[in-house]
Amino acid sequence: MKKGLLLAIVFLVVQTLQAQLPPIFGSEYTEKASHSEMVKTYLTPQRIVWQSDDTGEYIKNAETLLKKGNGQVAVNDENLFRFVSTAETKPGILLDYGKEISGGVKISMGIRESKTPLKLRLRFGESVGEAMSEIGGKQNATNEHSLRDFIVEVPWLGTIEVGETGFRFLRIDVVEANEDAPIKSIDAAFIYRDIAYLGSFESSDERLNEIWDVGAYTVHLNMQNYLWDGIKRDRLVWVGDMHPEVMTINSVFGNHDIVHKSLDLARDQHPLPQWMNGLSSYSMWWLLIHKNVFDYHGDLDYLKEQESYMIALLDQLSTFIDKDNKEILDGGRFMDWATSEIPEAVHSGLQAMMVMTFEAGSEMMGIYGKPDLQKKYLKISERLRKHKPKGNTTKQAAALMALADLEDAGKINAEILTKDGVQRMSTFYGYYILEAMAKAGDYEGGLRVIRDYWGGMIDLGATTFWEDFDILDVPNSGRIDELVPSTNFDIHGDFGEYCYVGYRHSLCHGWASGPTAWMSQHILGIHVMDAGETVKIDPNLGDLEWVKGSFPTKHGILKVSHQKNSDGSIKTEIDAPEGLRIVQ
């Protein structure tokens, strides 16, 4: 695979399937609580991006920071990295840990004449620009949700471990004059969940393979105590944002309890008549996620725990339909940020979501053995179908209308989704745009969107997918892993709107992982049915020559491979676990 060495090491687990995520990035020591999946691994910096002094007078032996260590200081350490400051010069250095991670930093100082703690300013960054920035200003660097710019004291002949954020880069500056500080190591403290990558995807297109991996890794980082949306900002359970994440977890990690835990938290934090996260659409996403989770894993006991809340929620939603069968939902009316100021789009999307929610609710009432409620909610769904929203031209709302069968998917794809390439996409609703393209049978178009849009982030140095990405911002923009020349735009600091202006923009957002789930389902062809008892194998290779991979099912790991023959037919090989029914 033509990937960076670091990416290859991280996703060795994907290729081997049985392996757990190992101590990675050349890390030398790992800590794990015996009762928890959460581990902490210490990572050595991979490169020095920048240093304030190249003369050797104020920064000495910088290359020693890139050497593996054991994290233990000693009285006889020699030739350590040294910061030397004066009244006029306070040196600084910028380190790259090779890949976005969640956690902090552990700094170890050697022996020196002064026993006074050394004051250092730390600036974590998801991009080089963010790590080099000041708080505030036009580029809007912040300390919100997680501290990423602060001063610490490092003890004489000791260590300090600080920080809890999402970052790849770290700038360290000496704060005070007349310091001569020997630093043994500046290791990242990477906190992640030690779980197996059970799903995998590999094809004849290396770009797609990398995108699948990056989507999986993006969600993996956000599987912290709960399922977050971002590890720097939005360290919260946003229910709608969870839906693409859950679909990715289904495809990569299988039936994981963090999904149940996060859904239950949202339910308990928002007793009815509250909407989840204050947004009516997010309450609908909560119900749709439960339908997806049951469809994939068939956990009836867990689904039954939701029965009373689910029925009350459906009944509450049913009161927000007017005499013309039009949704009139109150509270926050939200799909995604890109459509938030377009009332026609918001209404179209909410109408489609109401249709899908009541259809899913009807099906779940059948599972609960409540035929009267099953009929009731199906009739509500049919009633909602009688209203066809007009005036929408956004890709996001159009995709939902196609998925809800309020409009023909082929027509929507031809007239709206494929217009102007990947302009006016969003990383969140990009998943539903891809789903609508699949419904229209446009798999090659979906692959083009993935290559151009999500691949566009990778071209700019991304190792995780972003909260938002506008392809029109790319021209004359520098990469996130390089110092940006004054003649170029900073793709991180110079763009963004709504809640993601400038450096506040999260570059690791789980809602952006949609291509991972989409490629497993539609390209590899894994369609889970019958509450996880059956899988239909229906690959769509598009312009690919071959594809292979694995998928976690309730009965074990399913492995499939597809090879396109010269006549266009597909040769398929299947290795299915015992108990899983396969249909083709």
Residue-wise pLDDT for 145-187, tens only, equals: 999 999 999 999 999 999 999 999 999 999 999 999 999 999 9
CATH 1.50.10.10 segments of the chain: 200-467+506-528
pTM of the full predicted structure?
A: 0.94
CATH 2.60.120.260 segments of the chain: 26-193
The residue behind tokens 């687990």 is 13
Average pLDDT on 64-80 reads 91
Instruction: Please name the amino acid found at residue 495.
Output: F
Cβ partners under 8 Å of residue 232, min gap 6: 126, 145, 146, 148, 165, 166, 167, 506, 507, 508
**Closest-CA residue to 213 (of 200, 222, 230):** 200
CATH superfamily label, 26-193: Galactose-binding domain-like (2.60.120.260)
**In sequence order, what DSSP letters do the residues of 135-200 get, joined into one string?**
BBTTTTB--SSS--EEEEEEPTTSEEEEEEEEEEEEEEEE-SSS-EEEEEEEEEEEEEE--B---E
| Cβ contact 347:387 at 8 Å | no
What CA–CA distances, in Å, run from 372 to 315, 316, 363, 378, 384?
Answer: 13, 17, 12, 10, 19
| Cβ contact 426:509 at 8 Å | no
Output Rg (C-alpha) for the chain, integer angstroms.
25
Cβ-based neighbour number of residue 108 at 10 Å: 25
Q: What value, to the nearest 5°, has the Cα angle with vertex 194 and ends 190 and 197? A: 115
**pLDDT (0 to 100) of residue 435:** 98
Average pLDDT on 455-478 reads 98
Give 203-268 as a 3 state SS string.
ECCHHHHHHHHHHHHHHHHHECCCECCECCCCCCCCHHHHHHHHHHHHHHCCCCHHHHHHHHHHHH
The band of 56, judged by pLDDT with boundaries at 50, 70 and 90, is very high
How far apart are alpha carbons 436 and 405 in whole angstroms?
10
Please compute, for residue 116, the number of CA atoms within 13 A of its CA located in the half-sphere on the CB side. 8
Which comes out higher in pLDDT, residue 6 or 174?
Answer: 174
CATH code of the region 200-467+506-528: 1.50.10.10
Q: SS3 of 404, please?
A: coil
Q: Which of 31-40, 82-91, 415-424, 472-481 has the lowest mean pLDDT?
A: 31-40
The residue behind tokens 């809640």 is 499
Q: SS3 of 503, please?
A: helix
* pLDDT(32) > 90: no
Instruction: Please name the amino acid found at residue 168.
Output: R
| Cβ contact 381:433 at 8 Å | no
